Amino acid sequence: MRAPTVLVAKGAGDANALVRSLSRYDVYEFTSLDELGGAVRRAELIVIRSGVRLDADRLAAMPKLRYVIRAGSGLDGIDTAVLAARGIGLHRYPEASAPAVAEWCLAALLALARRIPLGANGLAHGDHLKTACLGTPVVSMRVAVWGAGPIGRAAAAVTERFGAEVAFAARPSITDGLRQLPAAELPGWADAHIVALPATAENTGVFGTGFLRSAARRRPLLVVAGRLATIDTGACLEALADGGLTGLAVDPIEASDAHLFKSGPAPLNLLATPHIGAQRADVRAALDAWVTQTASAVLGGEAAR
């Protein structure tokens, strides 16, 4: 009889540590679930990261699944209604990556404000654009933060410490002392926007033509740290080329999205990174340890021993 099975997406956890900790289980590391064959049907626990989808069809092919461990925060791509209906436990750790993603947000904001991507992209095109790289001090900026989860709060904190004036997009769920302004006022108020929203139906494409029209007078910087689905990528790139945006930084780019950010005919003040916000050694170590501890705990003391 085959041993019970644990699946771990490559980059979502330390497969060797899981093998040592879960000695009663077969542990499979995968880059694509399609490569695993019968192991998918035997899986009792799966460890995933961003870019791995667990939709209704995929979950139907995993009849023995009891636990999902999300090494991070995002729930997009996971059919949580199916998990709830089947009683499948969902475990995630959104706080672990927040300081690192906030660091990326500040780095991106500084880079856009100093027009560093424009200068670098110009050199890649063979153009020397020094005169076009006249920057603006972040310390004098108004920065709107969209999303008051761990990442939005951490990004606001580091930006505020740098001297910028920060306000959150108001939401009924924000009940503590964070400074808030009505969302409708922020496009006309802010010099820069940090987007740290989850990919829900409500948030899909929020930063598109309507937002760009409202923000046109400010010609703001746009820093996207949440999910790519929250922006209309084509509209934002067009606004960047036309001057409606002064700068655009986007981190949550998966492999399937890379084609959207190919270099165009003219250099732009564009920073596009392959979802590296949480890719910091200390965060990776903390997530790996948490994944192993959580898997051991949920699968029971015998497996842990």
- The CA–CA distances, whole Å, from 224 to 106, 113, 145, 231, 236 equal 11, 15, 10, 8, 11
The answer to whether residues 82 and 104 touch, using CB atoms and an 8 Å cutoff, is no
pTM of this structure: 0.88
Residue 90, token pair as written in the block: 């969902």
What is the reported pLDDT for 182?
97
Residues 115, 268: Cα–Cα separation, whole Å:
9
* 247, 237 Cβ separation under 8 angstroms: no
Predicted local distance difference test score (pLDDT) of residue 1:
53
What backbone torsions phi and psi does residue 38 show, to the nearest 5 degrees?
A: -65, -15
Contacting residues for 73 by C-beta, under 8 A, at least 6 apart: 92, 93, 94, 97, 149, 150, 151
Q: Which residue type occupies 157? A: A
d(CA 60, CA 171): 36
pLDDT per residue rounded down to tens, the chain (305 residues): 567 899 999 988 999 999 999 988 999 999 888 888 889 999 999 999 887 889 999 999 999 999 999 988 778 789 999 999 999 999 998 888 999 999 999 999 999 999 999 999 999 999 999 999 999 999 999 999 999 999 999 999 999 999 999 999 999 988 888 999 999 999 999 999 999 998 888 999 999 999 999 999 999 999 999 999 999 999 999 999 999 999 999 999 988 899 999 988 899 999 999 999 999 999 999 999 999 999 999 987 443 33
